[in-house]
Amino acid sequence: MPATQSEVKVISGDTIHARCQWRDLIDHLVKAHRGPMPLVERSALFADGANGERQTYLNQLAWQPGIAMGTKAITVMPGNARNGSAEPVGQALFTLFDGANGRPLCVLDGTALSHWKTAADSALGAKLLARPDSRRLLMVGAGALAPYMIEAHRTALPSIDTVLVWNRTGSKARLLAEAVGGEYAGNLEEAVKTADIVCCATAATSPILHGEWLREGTHVDLVGAFTPEMRECDDATVLRCRLFVDSRAFGVDQPGDLGNPLHRGVIGRDKIEADLFELCQERIPFVRGLNDITLFKNGGGGHLDLFTALYINDLQLR
């Protein structure tokens, strides 16, 4: 008998936060990247808000043939942060379908899913690329995603014993530092120079991270930029670093971090060594030199939402 609307599960954000475990999700992402390869697509609409801010309606589609397909619909409304609205800047829903027969399986709170997916994606990158003895994590940005990034990195690299937090608005950085048992960083340059891992999750449209600040052995995690106009690091950063992305489909050309210097000829495509599919499938071996500076561009993509939704749906069935 075909599924009816009443049979489709709704998985709330509270349930996602209560059931998910970082270590299990990171392990799940490793296995998911080993195949089958997903089909992916992204579409976006943009408009100007009342104060000229750019509003976004984004749809991310992914299909792992024979397993599942899903779509995440996302709204990004920067005005919410400026006008005192209780609504977050980014909100989303994810719909999961059975890959064998197309039956709707569940609708998930896409905002909670995004936080777990994004942080686990970056934490997997750090687990594969950062020095395993990394101790000092610098969180650049203190938005809604930041505490998840910190927690996921601490799980992936248990050697982390110090967390620094920097934000353009110092009061936000102080609040987050207190909440996660970290330290407030008042000077970004000084904090970068002492960090083993620099994680950036901002809405910057011009570089805030400068390559000359990075010390040897550092791992850089760039999360915030998702359009060509957004950029968190400068040319010196991409020139100094060994470059990796979560996927070549979404981490290279679309965000400005790598897309901007690539299109201007500052770097060539051969500078980007591997993505998570190639690393998890061990198609491209990675050996870290002691003084290598690695950069992981977290570009997102619907396949990561799909992988995470499958993990969450499986938790519900246990």
Read off the amino acid at residue 141.
Answer: G
Query: In this predicted structure, what is the pLDDT of residue 1?
Result: 39
Question: Confidence class of residue 81 from pLDDT cuts 50, 70 and 90?
Answer: confident
Indicate the average pLDDT of the chain. 94
Structural domains for the chain: 5-113+304-317 (3.30.1780.10), 120-300 (3.40.50.720)
Residue ranges in the chain assigned as alpha helix (H): 13-19, 22-32, 79-82, 110-129, 146-156, 170-180, 188-194, 235-240, 256-263, 276-280, 302-317
36-39 long-range contacts, CB within 8 A, separation 24+? 36/64, 36/65, 36/66, 36/67, 37/64, 37/277, 38/62, 38/63, 38/64, 38/302, 38/303, 38/306, 39/63, 39/64, 39/65
The whole-model pTM stands at 0.92
Query: In this predicted structure, what is the pLDDT of residue 80?
Result: 87
Q: What is the pLDDT of residues 28-41, one digit of tens each?
A: 999 999 989 999 99
Instruction: Classify residue 214 by its DSSP letter.
Output: P
